[in-house]
């Protein structure tokens, strides 16, 4: 399997723009230890991790099929280099929260990972973002991991999971960065240690949630939130099989789980549910959502504190819940 960095496509459909890490180094990598050049499980920082369980070649082939599926469904996928020896860097969602501003610029709020095993990823990621023209911001203010951040369509609101990895203290920095309100949700099951294993919110406001993973107070906050239109309750077994850790591409939902309750409910709402195979990544505690860092398009009016619009661009509201960036003639 070819792990050379392929040329990145131009930024296309902004609403389906993902940054994905390669699962292995380009060869020759030039650093010592060939076995450090590929995704594997070499330590255990979550209950899913079984040291030595991953078959790297199988992981690489599952990963390239996953990327092909994203592209076939219309996503723009930009590949980031694998961080040699930092195996969890494949879970690129965790490294930063990404947003495209109304003037088209993409900015990254860098994560502050809880575990030392993930610290070395951050410098490499900041360098890779800069190479793509992405401005980086290090103002999270507390532990923050991308897997704990669920951003609603248009970046109109975000939820921040805390309890295992991120801290509530990151709420303010995240809200300032996204220019929207952020609601903190407490996680209570260490096996579902990131919010994106317990909650996914589709663009139409459908919340796919495992109630057993959230504190009662967090569930109430979610149920009462005005931007959450309906809830799909996913049983704990399906959440542990990564049934909530999904990726939405318009009317298709990609999952690596056999999650019949989730799939039935989403099909009833008009979604196609597409299965991919990512079991090698499940051995490290991640699945489809963890492998992609979505560039969230900030669609709301720019607040006075962040006057970023350039004169050639304006917003065109297409529906109460969606707006697209248009370049005026």
Which positions lie near Zn ion, rule CB under 5 A? 25, 29, 31, 37, 84
Least Cβ distance, residue 36 to Zn ion (angstroms): 6
Minimum distance of Zn ion from residue 37's CB (angstroms): 3
User: Given the complex with Zn ion, which of 59 and 213 has the nearer CB atom?
Assistant: 59
Q: Which of 278, 289, 210 is nearest to 248 (CA)?
A: 289
**Closer residue to Zn ion, CB minimum distance, 32 or 328:** 32
Residue 179 C-beta: closest distance to Zn ion, Å: 38
Closer by beta carbon to Zn ion, 36 or else 212? 36
37/297 with CB nearer Zn ion: 37
Joined tokens for residue 41: 């499980």
Taking the complex as a whole, how short is the minimal distance between the CB of residue 1 and Zn ion, in angstroms? 15
By C-beta, is 3 or 184 nearer to Zn ion?
3
State the minimum distance, in angstroms, from the CB of residue 30 to Zn ion. Answer: 8
Question: In whole angstroms, how close is the CB of 88 to Zn ion at the nearest point?
Answer: 15
């Amino acid at each position: 399997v070819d792990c050379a960095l392929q040329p990145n496509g131009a930024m296309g459909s902004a609403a389906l723009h993902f940054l994905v890490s390669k699962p292995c180094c380009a060869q020759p990598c030039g650093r010592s230890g060939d076995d450090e050049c590929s995704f594997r499980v070499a330590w255990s920082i979550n209950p899913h991790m079984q040291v030595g369980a991953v078959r790297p070649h199988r992981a690489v082939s599952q990963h390239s099929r996953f990327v092909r599926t994203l592209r076939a469904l219309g996503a723009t996928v930009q590949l980031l280099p694998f961080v040699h020896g930092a195996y969890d860097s494949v879970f690129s969602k965790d490294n930063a929260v990404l947003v495209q501003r109304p003037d088209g610029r993409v900015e990254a709020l860098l994560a502050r990972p809880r575990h030392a095993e993930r610290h070395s990823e951050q410098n490499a990621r900041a360098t890779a973002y800069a190479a793509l023209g992405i401005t980086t911001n290090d103002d999270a203010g507390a532990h923050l991991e991308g897997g704990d951040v669920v951003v609603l369509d248009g970046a109109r609101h975000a939820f921040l999971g805390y309890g295992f990895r991120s801290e509530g203290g990151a709420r303010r920095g995240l809200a300032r960065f996204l220019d929207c309100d952020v609601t903190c949700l407490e996680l209570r099951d260490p096996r579902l240690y990131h919010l994106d294993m317990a909650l996914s919110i589709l663009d139409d406001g459908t919340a796919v949630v495992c109630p057993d993973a959230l504190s009662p107070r967090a569930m109430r906050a979610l149920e009462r939130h005005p931007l959450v239109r309906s809830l799909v309750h996913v049983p704990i077994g399906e959440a542990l099989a990564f049934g909530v850790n999904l990726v939405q591409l318009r009317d298709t939902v990609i999952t690596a789980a056999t999650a019949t309750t989730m799939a039935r409910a989403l099909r009833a709402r008009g979604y196609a549910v597409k299965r991919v195979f990512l079991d090698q990544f499940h051995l490290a505690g991640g699945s489809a959502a963890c492998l992609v860092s979505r560039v969230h398009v900030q669609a709301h009016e720019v607040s006075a504190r962040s006057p970023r619009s350039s004169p050639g661009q304006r917003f065109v509201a297409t529906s109460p819940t969606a707006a697209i960036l248009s370049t005026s003639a």
